[in-house]
Amino acid sequence: MFNEKMHRLGSNRSVIRELFEFGKQLAAKEGADKVYDFSLGNPSVPAPAIVKESIQKQIDMPKSTVLHGYSSAQGDPDVRKAVAAHIEKCHNVLVSPDLIYLTVGAAAALCITLKALKEDGDNFLCFAPFFPEYTVFTEATGAALRVVPMKDDCKMNLQAAAKLIDENTKGVIINSPNNPSGAVYSEEEIKALCALLGDKEKEYGHPIFLISDEPYREIVYDGVFVPYLMNYYDDVVVCYSYSKSLSLPGERIGYIAVSPKARQAQELYYAVCGAGRALGYVCAPHLFQRILLDCVDAPADVAAYDKNRKLLYSSLTEIGFECIKPQGAFYLMMKTPEPDANAFSDRAKNFGLLLVPGDTFGAPGFVRISYCVSYDMIVRSLPAFKALFATYEK
Amino acid sequence: MFNEKMHRLGSNRSVIRELFEFGKQLAAKEGADKVYDFSLGNPSVPAPAIVKESIQKQIDMPKSTVLHGYSSAQGDPDVRKAVAAHIEKCHNVLVSPDLIYLTVGAAAALCITLKALKEDGDNFLCFAPFFPEYTVFTEATGAALRVVPMKDDCKMNLQAAAKLIDENTKGVIINSPNNPSGAVYSEEEIKALCALLGDKEKEYGHPIFLISDEPYREIVYDGVFVPYLMNYYDDVVVCYSYSKSLSLPGERIGYIAVSPKARQAQELYYAVCGAGRALGYVCAPHLFQRILLDCVDAPADVAAYDKNRKLLYSSLTEIGFECIKPQGAFYLMMKTPEPDANAFSDRAKNFGLLLVPGDTFGAPGFVRISYCVSYDMIVRSLPAFKALFATYEK
């Protein structure tokens, strides 16, 4: 009667969504102040003031038929120029506005890129821990996603990757700063990955694309350096979103940038345009395209996240938990004191703590803690973490 | 290296886009006042004032993290309630907010619906003349689109449809008011179609869904009645967009409504949610979801289109052209004085007239004239139409 696979995707709630719903019920029963929800990745920092100013400016202009009208499918030319100029300024890479395609957020960017690349029999790789929707997006194109097992320090497991790449590997997705680990891959790791892919490209005689999913690019701490992949490798497609840097996740605005050095870059870009068309993406929301003219260079406000990160990391390690110190994004991975992260997450619920079991991210034995929450909630949650830890000491 | 089919979709410009680009070049050479562009369906009527007021109200609220944050995947619950209430009020149908799924416009609504329904071997039907992207959207799911040939008066060709439906037919797309013909299917036609589909459902023992693509629902003239399909048939999925009624095509906001009377409606809705997820539609743009709270009941401003329609229809028939009188939307189909509509369209370019050949809509021997343009441009174009017609009189 209808597609079974789609039905399964729509009826099986994600673990994260389950936790979120549980939290709502708990809050209704026990009071909202008794629930410490660390489950979601919804930015807690408001959009910078320039976003509102820019929306105001746009809606005060006389021609609403232009503002709210269709843009070209690949996006407003002026906006694509502004995005290209920003990339050049920040990363010292010449990208062409004509190789930029504005998207309805990073999820759309990934789906379009995978659909544009995928041929019969193709597979894609990603590194655990990883954002679980990669599986959904890849399989929707008919391709398989191969997950490179994680290393305990969340660095890239290149030895395992080398074994998983074969002649049908079309691309490798990387996500740095990483959701869920908060890791940022070092320049050394990136160089090693690019060397590996370069060798494999030669061996198999076709490009293996590096697909960089980077919505957290600007959310980094302690001045850590995030290598820009186009500077290290030719066959690169960047998938970006303003969801986190401008705190606009609900407005769905992002882009795909094809590296001008990618083999047949122009033809690949056409395939991107075609995939966007086939998936029903007529254009990215036009008002939010236009505000990028004012906001592309707006700095992300990371101070609040950094404050949360410091408090959480130091408090949890002090309590006795083992944590991976995040360098970016707004997630922290904590090792669970028992091997089964699901059991640990269930036990945490008794203390009002909503922590996502790592299994869904390819990180068994860990929970993900989203700290895009209020500082106050973290402070109030610490006794609960302490009490939870104590149950493992008996 | 990448997907050939996507490359073809992205590199072959549509006929409409080709005309539009030609028009820009012509305008640069001859002056914009010498080009009469009837090619695009971008609304020329500004969004109603309440849209701007509502955006203003939303951005002036204190909680930008809520406004610009993720909504649930199926859309803000309050907005879904408002949409359901509007449908009940206008069409006397009880629809559940929990069977409404807000989308990134009608194209997304169609792609998601087709993906949710499609099983191996399925085909879908549509009636010519038809919106050519239906082919792209259907084939992207792996299903085939069967086009029912048009009748010269643009009414539904039910006899031909009966022959094209087989046991693998999963759904029939209808689009009324119609792009490109401006036809509105009468209650009589709708009843006959529903009777045919009901018989076929019984014959094959499975549902055949009526997929109603209705972005032009409110753009109708002379008080013509547009039957609401849920009142005539059970297995209905409505795909709606606010692009035309609120003049917001670039903002991408619409919805899917599954009829509560559809077989396994709840399960079908889950498949819709799953398909949305698989195609990368995280949620519809949140700000434009929220403005629906104020705007769902805002009347579409059809007066300007109606004025255009009357002038164009009476002038063209007076000149000697044969036209189908539109009852809705903002398109008019004109019979070409020579059988080859492409040759006619090419000849029209010499007079600065950009008219889309009907072949792309399954309507050979016709051109589509979009009259969502300024009244003044129509007035100025009439001598060109006259001169064009004269070339066929010699």
The string of pLDDT tens digits covering residues A328-369 is 999 999 999 999 999 999 999 999 999 999 999 999 999 999
Question: Does B68 score more than 80 pLDDT?
Answer: yes
Between chains, do B271 and A7 touch, taking CB under 8 Å as contact?
A: yes
The ipTM value here is 0.95
Query: In A259-311, at which residue ranges do the beta strands (DSSP E only) sit?
Result: none
Distance CA A117, CA A271 (A): 7
Residues of chain A positioned with their CB less than 8 A from the CB of B279: 111, 140, 279-280
The answer on pLDDT for B200 being more than 80 is: yes
H/E element holding A335?
strand A331-335
When pLDDT is cut at 50, 70 and 90, the band that residue B12 belongs to is confident
Which member of A207, A250, A272 has the closest CB to residue B68? A250
Neighboring chain A residues of B135 at a CB cutoff of 8 Å: none
Position B184 scores a pLDDT of 97
Residue type, B306: D
Chain A residues within 8 A of B70 when measuring between CB atoms: 40, 42, 249-250
The rounded distance, in Å, linking the Cα atoms of A186 and A232 is 12
Q: Enumerate the residues of chain A whose CB falls inside 8 A of the CB of residue B173.
A: none
Residue B368 in this model has a pLDDT that exceeds 90: yes
Q: Which residue in the set A43, A271, A281 is minimally distant from B3, CB to CB?
A: A271
pLDDT of residue B285: 97
Q: Please report the sign of the dihedral spanned by the C-alpha atoms of residue B32, residue B37, residue B42, residue B46.
A: positive
Contact B282 A252 (CB under 8 A): yes
- What is the reported pLDDT for B281? 96
pLDDT of A14 higher than 90: no
- Closest chain B C-alpha to A308 CA, distance in angstroms: 17
Of A110, A115, A264, the CB nearest to B6: A115
CB atoms within 10 A of CB A232: 17
> Among A252-256, A300-304, B386-390, which is the least confidently predicted range?
A300-304
Q: Do B267 and A107 touch (CB under 8 A)?
A: no
State whether residue B137 is helix, strand or coil. helix
- Residue B264 to residue A111, Cβ atoms within 8 A: no
Q: What is the dihedral of CA A114, A115, A118, A122, to 10 degrees?
A: 60
**Chain A residues with CB inside 8 Å of B269's CB?**
10
- Is B280 in contact with A108 (Cβ distance < 8 A)? yes
What chain B residue is nearest to A7 in terms of C-alpha separation? B271
- Amino acid at position A141, single letter: T
Q: How confident is the model at residue B13 (pLDDT cuts 50, 70, 90)?
A: confident
Contact A6 B42 (CB under 8 A): no
Note the pLDDT of residue B18.
Answer: 82
Question: From residue B292, how far is each of B57, B83, B112, B334 by CA, in Å?
Answer: 12, 8, 21, 36
**What is the predicted pLDDT for the residue at B160?**
97
> Residue A279: its pLDDT value, please?
97
Interface with B, mutate which of A24, A66, A68 (most B CBs under 10 A): A68
Would you say residue A162 has pLDDT above 90?
Answer: yes
For position A275, what pLDDT does the model report?
Answer: 97
**Facing residue for A8 by CB, picked from B65, B111, B274:** B274
Q: Quick check: A179 and A329 in contact, CB under 8 A?
A: yes
Residue of A nearest to B65 (CA): A46
Please report which confidence band the pLDDT of residue A309 belongs to, taking 50, 70 and 90 as the band edges: very high
pTM listed for this prediction: 0.96
Could A282 and B56 be called an inter-chain contact, meaning their C-beta atoms sit closer than 8 Å?
no
What pLDDT is attached to residue A121? 96
Q: How far apart are CA B374 and CA B44, in angstroms?
A: 7
Structure tokens of A269? 């870009």
Strand extents, DSSP E, A73-193: 100-103, 123-127, 144-148, 169-174
Q: Minimal Cα–Cα distance from A119 to chain B, Å?
A: 5
**Between chains, do A7 and B282 touch, taking CB under 8 Å as contact?**
no
Task: Select the residue of B2, B7, B115 nearest A6 (Cβ to Cβ).
Answer: B115
Question: Which residue among B3, B45, B271 places its CB closest to the CB of A118?
Answer: B3
Contacts of A115 in chain B (CB under 8 A): 3, 6
Q: With contact defined as beta carbons under 8 Å apart, do B26 and B370 qualify?
A: no
CA distance A8 to chain B (A): 7
CB contact under 8 A, A271 and B6: yes
The span from the first CA to the last CA of chain A, in angstroms, equals 54
Is A10–B268 a contact, with Cβ atoms under 8 angstroms apart?
no
User: Do the Cβ atoms of A119 and B43 come within 8 Å?
Assistant: no
pLDDT at B17: 76
- What confidence score (pLDDT) does residue A16 get? 83
pLDDT at B394 over 80: no
Q: Give the pLDDT of residue B144.
A: 97
Of B137, B248, B271, the CB nearest to A10: B271
Q: Indicate whether B62 pLDDT > 80.
A: yes
Among B49, B68, B100, residue whose Cα is nearest residue B246: B49
User: What is the CB neighbour count within 10 angstroms for residue B191?
Assistant: 13
Q: Buried b vs exposed e over A251-284: b needs ≥16 C-beta within 10 Å?
A: bbbbbbbbbbebeebebbbbbbbbbbbbbbbbbb
pLDDT of residue B150: 95
pLDDT at B323 exceeding the cut of 80: yes
CB nearest B6 (choices: A40, A247, A275):
A275
| Cβ-nearest to B252 among A45, A64, A285 | A285
Judged against a pLDDT cut of 90, whether residue B165 lies above it is answered with yes
Q: In a mutagenesis test of the A interface, which of B20, B57, B68 is the best target, namely the one with the most A β-carbons within 10 Å?
A: B68
Average pLDDT, chain B: 95
pLDDT of A42 higher than 90: no
Rg (chain B; Cα; Å): 21
Which pLDDT band, with edges at 50, 70 and 90, does A12 fall under?
Answer: confident
Mean pLDDT, range B133-158, rounded to an integer:
95
With beta carbons less than 8 A apart as the criterion, state whether A76 and A366 touch: no
Helix (H, G, I), strand (E, B) or coil at B79: helix
Residues of A in contact with B53 (CB under 8 A): none
* Average pLDDT value for chain A: 95
Q: Is the pLDDT of residue B196 over 80?
A: yes
Q: What is the DSSP string of B344-361?
A: HHHHHHTTTEE-EEGGGG
Distance of CA B236 to the CA centre of its chain: 17
Contacts of A3 in chain B (CB under 8 A): 115-119, 271, 274-275
Nearest-neighbour CA in chain B from A157: distance (Å): 26
Cβ separation of A274 and B133 shorter than 8 Å?
A: no
In the three-class reduction of DSSP (H, G, I as helix; E, B as strand; rest coil), residue B384 is classed as helix
The edge-to-edge listing of strands for the beta sheet with A366-370 is A323-324, A331-335, A366-370, A356-357
Across the range B79-94, mean pLDDT stands at 97
Cα torsion through A213, A217, A222, A224, rounded to 10: 60
Contact A46 B64 (CB under 8 A): yes
Measured between beta carbons, the chain B residues lying within 8 angstroms of A79 are: none
Average the pLDDT over B44-61 and give the result: 95
Q: What is the pLDDT of residues A244-299, one digit of tens each?
A: 999 999 999 999 999 999 999 999 999 999 999 999 999 999 999 999 999 999 99
pLDDT at B383: 98
| Range A110-128 average pLDDT | 98
Give B334's strand partners: B323, B367
Which parts of chain B are beta strand (E)?
36-37, 100-103, 123-127, 144-148, 169-174, 209-213, 236-241, 254-258, 323-324, 331-335, 353-354, 356-357, 366-370
Nearest to B207 among A1, A5, A250 (CB): A1
- Reduce the DSSP state of residue A345 to 3 states and report it: helix
- Residue A153 burial (CB < 10 Å; 0-12/13-18/19+)? exposed
- Per-residue HEC secondary structure of A173-235 comes to EECCCCCCCCCCCCHHHHHHHHHHHHHHHHHHCCCCEEEEECCCCCCECCCCCCCCHHHCCCC
Nearest to A249 by CA among B64, B251, B62: B64
Task: Please give the residue that has the higher pLDDT: either A394 or A108.
Answer: A108
Q: Check CB contact under 8 Å for B285 and A68.
A: no
